[in-house]
Amino acid sequence: MKTLVVGGAGYIGSVVTRLLLAEGHQVTVLDDLSTGHADTVPAEARLVTGDIAEATKVLAEGGFDAVLHFAAKSLVGESVVNPSLYWRTNVIGSRALLDAITEHHIPRLVFSSTAAVYGEPDQVPITEDFPTRPTNAYGATKLAVDMMITNECTATDLAAVSLRYFNVAGAAYGVGERHTTETHLIPIALDAVAGKRDKLTIYGDDWSTPDGTPLRDYVHVADLARAHVLALTAAEPGEHLICNLGNGNGFSVLEVMKTVEKVTGLPMPHTVGPRRMGDPARLVASAARAQQRLGWLPEHDLTTMVADAWAFSHPDLAGTGE
């Protein structure tokens, strides 16, 4: 297929770009490089540097079979203190992209949605028909885009799939997380054992979970990428298919820390701080629908995610642990 990957210079978008190319698809990446990196876009893909509003110009070239939409602000904490940035970037940007998709009759869309749309669930694992009650602006804006896509699919023949990611981790094809402002647990924990930061701060140990720290469902970026390729052909025209992507297992912050210590063979300097605004206690996916509709089963466990992230972020130290 001829694909446009919007936000393809970011962590997840650039891994998906590599898998698309490996499977014989043609890829144009559109990215404003506000958080992405031009050097993560492989030479076999065409890079158009520009805002999401430029999508209409690119799609006007003709012949595109699908758009994969990754471009978004995606930090929960930042979204709580600066909601305007999230509503403007995520919702208005996506609206412009959807209009371009409709105008140029693009038949397929795959959208990066998030587990954050569910907020604090009454129970886990979370299925796609759980109530959506986001506890932060990030989740609210992604939910708004999901709703816009549903409306668009009703009004047109667009076949769309929203993939609700749980906690993405690991590295693939030599691409891992390198955010200018890192907020994610695994990269921060790896920097703490490597001595690149003083310590890891646990955001609260008084949550209503077995060990008092929040539970998250970690999914390897390589597994996640495969789901996108499967999603390209999963929806019928006029259908908006929504699938959770997770392993179905919850790991606490303390369990992740132990895994990091085991993989690296290094002790974790840490302290306990206050809870972070907008964090739910537990987010664990049911991946049953992704299995049924996409034929997707995650293959990588938490140890592999940590080991791959470690080899990517600290190649000089990797190989010291188990």
Site string for ligand UFG, 116-135 (x = CB under 6 A): x-------------------
- CB nearer to ligand UFG: give 159 or 192: 192
Strand order in the sheet with 215-216: 251-252, 215-216, 282-283
- Residue 90 makes contact with ligand UFG by CB under 6 A: no
138, 165, 203, 218: the active-site residue: 138
- Which CB sits closer to ligand UFG, 74 or 162? 74
CA distance 253 to 5: 32
Rama region for 313: left / alpha / beta (φ>0; ψ in -120 to 50; rest): alpha
Number of residues that bind ligand UFG (CB under 6 A): 21
Q: How far is the CB of 86 from ligand UFG (least distance, A)?
A: 11
Measured CA angle at 34 (ends 32, 39), to 5 deg: 75
Q: Determine if 284 is a binding residue for ligand UFG (CB under 6 A).
A: no
Which one of 102-110, 111-119, 144-152, 287-295 is the stretch in contact with ligand UFG (CB under 6 A)? Answer: 111-119
- 200 binding ligand UFG? (CB under 6 A): yes
As a whole number of Å, the end-to-end CA separation of the chain is 41
138 is catalytic: yes
Taking residues 253 to 272 in sequence order and writing x for each that binds ligand UFG by CB under 6 A, - otherwise, the string is x-------------------
178 binds ligand UFG (CB under 6 A): no
Give the list of residues 6+ apart from residue 17 with CB closer than 8 angstroms, or none.
5, 8, 27, 29, 41, 42, 45
Q: Per the structure block, which two tokens stand in for 199?
A: 């310590």
Measured between alpha carbons, how far is residue 138 from residues 134, 160, 210 in Å? 8, 21, 27
Q: Which residues bind ligand UFG (CB under 6 A)?
A: 74, 76, 114-116, 166-167, 183-185, 188, 200-203, 214, 216, 253, 276, 279, 283
- Active site residue ranges: 138
